[in-house]
Copies of this chain bind each other. A is one copy, B any other.
Amino acid sequence: MREFDLIDHIRARTGLPRGDVDLGIGDDAALLRVPEGQSLAVCVDTMVAGVHFPAGTAPRELGWKSLAVNLSDLAAMGATPAFATLALTLPVADARWIGDFVDGWLALAQQHDVALVGGDTTRGPLSITVAAHGYVPHGQAMRRDGARVGDIVAVSGTLGDGAAGLDVVENRVSGESASWLCVRLNRPTPRVALGGALRGIATACIDVSDGLTADLGHLCKASGVGACIAMNDLPLSAALTDYIDLPTARGWQLSGGDDYELCFTVAPAHWPEAQARAAAAGVPVCAIGVIEAEPGVRVIRADGQCIPAMAKGWDHFA
């Protein structure tokens, strides 16, 4: 397979038609028309083999996940995904690998009407960089810096499944719960509808990619506040409780990464409305703590003791 065949293959399948795309893949740059009244939200994420995923991960999973982690960032801003670019570095140009990658990408891209408008293919160690672009009405994006003392801290879905999924992969565990956890790791669901629904009511929002305490820590630092969360209130999936002992599960919930749930803050008076909107968006949300004036993140353990969160999240260069 030659480079231009590869590009043609990707282009033919991923350039979903959109009214705002004047020119997609195939020229020196793509041309887009951002709708009036909308800000453009832009994010970028790289996934490197052996760092972000085991080298043997199926290309179909990589196609999905490389887009999903970016749509999760857009969701955290309350933005609606629109288009993306893909920079793909591959050791060899394998038609089947590419086909499977595009299958996984498309399965998610079609759900959110995301057009691939540009990219670059290069030979080298396997690495995937996606830049995703979305729209959010001017001035309505959810940022990290709006949390206020007294706000409720909440999360969507369940936590700890991503870390458990990695444990499943690394230890080659089989079974129903293990399989479900693998799907959570490899095919995370970006909370796009929830992000849109929380716009105008959440005071701050971030997606949980590095681990809950690390990401909540980023939100608190940006807002100039702290937070106290209750370990017993962290939402557990049935699969996670089935898979592992509770203390290990709680550790994964606090400091494991790859969950791609939203962590957000909301004034107590607005909490019932936030729950109602989340339910309408089809995603359960759960109050796990409160914003406090004292900086840092604290965790009330199962025994009632309040301790500073130790987890700092993943540091690629530590």
A residues with a Cβ closer than 8 A to B are 1-4, 6, 22-23, 26-34, 36, 39-46, 48-52, 73-74, 76-77, 79, 83, 85-87, 89-90, 92-93, 117-125, 127, 129, 131-134, 136, 138, 141, 143-145, 205-207, 222, 315-318
Contacts and interface: CB of A to CB of B under 8 A. Distances in A.
A87 B31 contact: no
Contacts of A138: 33
Given A27-B77, A122-B316, A123-B316, 14 more contacts: A3-B315, A4-B315, A23-B141, A27-B222, A29-B141, A31-B141, A33-B39, A34-B34, A45-B87, A45-B120, A48-B123, A50-B124, A93-B317, A121-B317
Nearest to A49: B124
Contacts of A124: 48-51, 125, 127
Contacts of A144: 26-28
Given A23-B143, A122-B316, A318-B2, A41 B46 contact: no
Contact of A29 (B43, B86, B90): B43
Contact of A207 (B1, B3, B28): B28
Contacts of A207: 28
A30 B22 CA distance: 23
Nearest to A139: B22
A288 B165 CA distance: 59
B317 A3 contact: yes
17 contacts: A3-B316, A23-B143, A28-B144, A28-B205, A28-B207, A31-B136, A32-B40, A33-B39, A42-B83, A42-B118, A44-B87, A44-B129, A45-B87, A48-B123, A51-B124, A93-B317, A120-B129
Contacts of A42: 29-30, 32, 83, 85, 117-118, 133
A27 B28 CA distance: 29
B41 A29 contact: yes
Given A122-B52, A127-B124, A129-B129, A39 B46 contact: no
Nearest to A88: B46
A28 B120 contact: no
Given A39-B33, A136-B31, A120 B317 contact: no
Contacts of A122: 46, 48, 51-52, 316
B3 A318 contact: yes
Contact of A87 (B27, B46, B117, B222): B46
B39 A36 contact: no
A50 B123 CA distance: 10
Given A2-B317, A89-B127, A118 B43 contact: yes
**Residue of A2, A49, A74 with highest tally of chain B CB at under 10 A:** A2
A236 B157 CA distance: 63
A75 B132 CA distance: 22
